Amino acid sequence: MAGASARAERVRRSAKREADVRARHPKLGGFILAVGDDPRSTKVWDQGAVGEERVGATLEAARPSGIEVLHDRRIPRSRANIDHLVIAPNGVWVVDAKRYLNGKLTCRDVGGWLRADRRLYVGSRDRTALVDGVLKQVDVVAAALAAAGLGDVPVHGALCFVEVQLGWFAKPFTLRGVSVTWREHLVAPMLAPQALAEATRVNATVELSRRFQPA
């Protein structure tokens, strides 16, 4: 299920905080918990889960268009997970969902006269590391497909924002080979030509499902 591991982490952290507070304050623990709230480091897992769920719903609605979707998949030998793996007509897509409630999404060139340096910003913060994170996931998925004899299957990366502020004429863009987009524009590029054979798509779905277990 999309967002399942993020919600589970939120519950785990909240339960740990409650146990710690009650252990330190046996008499006043209940009152402290009633008037206090979980720290931001805990609540942010809820924010992430909502983003994954909404992107997941968009992808699920697109299944009749000819895609398969695997949600919330654990990367082997890692604590990290892949939000969504989409097996589409033109290849496999690694989709990372991000929900930012403050700040406008922009692409800025911070380089000098002789060297372009395009970076991803949300508000005043440089979030280019998010693109690098998708690229690492793309490499992992490509390696898994190659190990299964499916090295010819293209693997694309997409960073899909939820509820982020956009300019009036904002359009999705590509940064370092990763599609930076939002839900309204997420699916269309997956259905572009360069169609894979049906048998190849089935094999890719089976292998990815096996190699990337539910988180």
Chain segment 4-30, per-residue pLDDT in tens:
565 555 556 555 655 564 566 666 545
Are 5 and 213 within 8 A, CB to CB? Answer: no
Residue at 198 is within a domain? yes
pLDDT digits (tens, 9 = 90+) for 139-173: 999 999 999 999 999 999 999 999 889 988 899 99
Is the CB of residue 148 less than 8 Å from the CB of residue 155? no
Structural domain includes residue 42: no
Whether 15 is in a domain gets the answer no
- Is 180 among the domain residues? yes
Q: 175-210, pLDDT tens digit by residue? A: 999 999 999 999 999 997 778 888 999 999 999 999
Structure tokens at 104: 């406008």
Q: Round to whole Å and give the CA distance between 162 and 105.
A: 11
- Give me the domain span that covers residue 138: 65-211
pLDDT at residue number 129: 96
Q: Tell me the CA end-to-end span of the chain in Å, nearest whole number.
A: 9
**Rounded to an integer, what distance in angstroms lies between the CA atom of residue 82 and that of residue 93?**
11
**Domain assignment present for 193:** yes
The structure tokens listed for 18 are 């409650």
32 located within any domain: no
* In a domain? residue 202: yes
The model's pTM is: 0.80
Number of domains in the chain: 1
Q: Would you say residue 80 lies in a domain?
A: yes
